[in-house]
Amino acid sequence: MEQHFKEANDTGISFNWYVINTKPRQEHIALVNLQQQGYVCYLPVLSVEKIKRNKLTLVEEALFPRYLFIHLGIGANAQSWSPIRSTKGVNGLIKFGNEPAKIANHLINFFRDNELARQASPTPFFSEGERLLLTNGAFVGVEAIYQMTDGEERVVVLIELLGKQVKLAVKPTELSKQE
């Protein structure tokens, strides 16, 4: 998946990656709207498990919440930057003083090259061996040890009952992480 980007081309336009600050939870909206205007953008994502509608579901989240990267040209023939700040979902370019913050091409390529590996092994909501508390049912307040996911709507945990460890299948929403 390695994709490298030009830093300059034969039209005299020099290209760099810059950082865009988005509105809260609007990274994807900003990405789509910028791309529709012809900008080249990149939003690194991470696959994580979340509880949605009482079951564990894989969702994609921004690796850097509220930020995405944009590939912009500098020069007389470069695409105008002015529409960026009024694009839906965008707060503006990140700047250091009056200069937009540049990101090296090799960092963007690193994020892209490693994105497949991150997606192949999503971040689980519960980890094997993690200590949890039951929050619903006959065993409210009992400590449980997470074992595995059992289908789409249940997980298997171990609880101690009469001096023995017993497997129990529960909905993920019936568990909470211990603090």
Q: In the chain, what are the domain boundaries?
A: 14-120, 131-177
Mean pLDDT of 65-75: 94
Question: Structure tokens of 110?
Answer: 């690193």
The separation between CA 138 and the C-alpha centre of its own chain, rounded to angstroms, equals 36
178 vs 63: which has the higher pLDDT: 63
Question: Structure tokens of 10?
Answer: 């034969």
CATH number assigned to the domain covering 131-177: 2.30.30.30
Residue 35 CA to residue 29 CA, distance in Å, equals 10
For residues 33 and 104, the answer to whether their CB atoms sit within 8 Å is no
Whether pTM exceeds 0.75: no
The pLDDT value given to residue 10: 55
Residue 43 CA to residue 29 CA, distance in Å, equals 11
For residues 16 and 40, the answer to whether their CB atoms sit within 8 Å is no
Residue with tokens 């791309």: 35
Mean pLDDT of 147-170: 82
pLDDT for 175 beyond 90: no
1 vs 43: which has the higher pLDDT: 43
Mean pLDDT of 79-93: 95
For residues 18 and 82, the answer to whether their CB atoms sit within 8 Å is no
* Domain pair 14-120 / 131-177, same fold: no
CATH superfamily name and code, 14-120:
NusG, N-terminal domain (3.30.70.940)
Indicate if the alpha-carbon torsion angle 115, 25, 27, 16 is positive or negative: negative
Ranges 10-19, 27-36, 72-81, most confident: 27-36
Q: How many other CB atoms sit within 10 Å of the CB of residue 156? A: 16
Question: Structure tokens of 59?
Answer: 């969702």
Mean pLDDT of 145-157: 80
Indicate if the alpha-carbon torsion angle 101, 47, 5, 85 is positive or negative: negative
First and final C-alpha spacing in the chain:
39
Pairing outcome for strands 14-22 and 55-62? unpaired
For residues 20 and 84, the answer to whether their CB atoms sit within 8 Å is yes
User: pLDDT-based confidence at 40, cuts 50/70/90?
Assistant: very high
The pLDDT value given to residue 2: 39
Mean pLDDT of 11-40: 93
Cβ within 8 Å of residue 59, ≥6 positions away: 47, 48, 49, 50, 52
87 vs 173: which has the higher pLDDT: 87
C-alpha Rg value of the chain to the nearest Å: 23
User: Average pLDDT, whole number, for the chain?
Assistant: 85
The pLDDT value given to residue 108: 94
